[in-house]
Structure 1
């Protein structure tokens, strides 16, 4: 296996989380400062040499910590031999009484080697640290003492083993975070695709139920007028005029659909503003004699753009059904917050009404007009919501769409305001 240089957590002490790296840094400087304090008490003639080498060791360690990113892979790989050389020189210079003090620098130096070097290089570095440590301890006592030698060596290898476990856990967490991020992006992409497909389905339904049927009927009238043109010109002209009137209606409907396809209404004015404009436009288009909008609830919930747009599309589809089938005089659109984490959009009318169970059963078993309700319910459930339909023939209809909402932050405004206090 090649001696690769591993990619591991950076050495500098940064961030708000206290890790094993921080413990290693603190241990190194604590050992060096403690050893220097003991050096002042000895009053040895080598005091200044030892202090100078100790200072160089501390400066080299600090420089590697602070310049970690700038050093690069090659620089960090060269940093370890320099540290080991200065530490080995210290072990040669210090008197026997200070050997144990500086010997414990082997612990943070072994951790630094574990962070920087590859598999085989770190094994060689640890072997070199062990040999230097054993030689220094044996030389200080003049004989091999098992307790004196094995305890520091076991501490070095035990610390390295612990550090390796910590590194593996950190790498596993990093990979898990990356997988979660990729999964989140994939889910968001799938939701966008599902939204696009649902919008295409709605457009196809609207085109089929309006333009396609009207154009087919107009074509049949023109063909009949062509047959009657010579024998019954009055009837033929009446049919041509009916086709002309139908084309005018279709032109109005086409312009309405183009306005509905414009996605900037919710983004520019918020959900509440978009619903107010939609209700005013629906009343002008003849959906009902009176189409009123009401917003209740305080404080305002926070909805993301996709959820707010979904509620807006539900309102569009419902008002389109009211215009075509309900023959209502009054329509009430209410946006409310009944629970802290829920937002309701309710559309009620006093039209002819229908049996919801029958319509839902019919639209779920075959194609045709009216499959907007199951599609709307499916889209709402993607955002943790649902659709409730109630009504009866001759008693009007009430449709309530519910979605999840986040609590409003105290110091930030919602990107899509949905309710104001009344």
Structure 2
């Protein structure tokens, strides 16, 4: 046997080894996806007792998001008896304030929520969003019993606040959370890939309240829990409001309830540079605040990329050499089918919650079935980038994530080093 043939046999053996691991991981992932879907279906049929205390909704603003006015209108139109909205910015000339004012003037409701605008000023040693929230908390109405948080790029349904707050009637629940679902507006591969990439995180939520995490763009917490868990103290020095709140609740050993009805669409498109910036920033933040999750993502995506894309290369080479490639190709098809099944089932379940034709569209279905291998490759790129750098740019501000409780602001938009 020639040395070349021996080398090809070794490569084939290595491929079979990693293919077996990938198929096993794919089966586990599919099982997790089925559990996610069953949880969604069970929660959608569950009725919670009426619980509508006075709520303060916090919305940090910086820059004008795509569809911001529609997002603000969706907050104004919440089907909830009594709540206030605290819009918080870092400077008085924030352009998003004009959008909020225009939305307020055009609001058609007979009675709308109470609103207030607070200016937090520039952050010094923590993320601007976190700084804004710490400042805004002190402006909550004294009668407010629940704090709710929503991002400016989210567009909640009219029942969002009611659904998010209702489970908190059970005082043993630490917090409730939804999650974001990207809905491309005009389409494009980059926008679709962003949606597929993000969807993988959504299905990590489920019935286990001790493993769930808070997403800062759709979270509610009792005021008493917020204070007893010292969330504001956990926020200090950080750049991630949701990771810090999650850590505070986990340390207090109180569960986080995932509310599927609060899966919230973000209607936006993205370019390729923006896609890489956003996804890499998320993994860098994950490495800084939950290194064990970053390691899992890195190892899992590395195994998949090595197996799937390496296997594709090997099949092509063996076909060109007129060698047998049926078995490797069959294993690749199994790996692809497992991921495609999970992506399709997840999309169908989410489409029952987010009633928008773009989520139900043929284009969206094809994207989620076919682009998930590219999303895994993107996760590997993000993981590598997070391993070599902790510097991120977020809404025009450059940060260095030195540790879970130490953040350095490198520069601001149109400013020199600070």
TM normalised by structure 1 equals 0.24
Which has the bigger relative contact order, CA under 8 A and spacing at least 6? Answer: 2
Greater gyration radius: 1
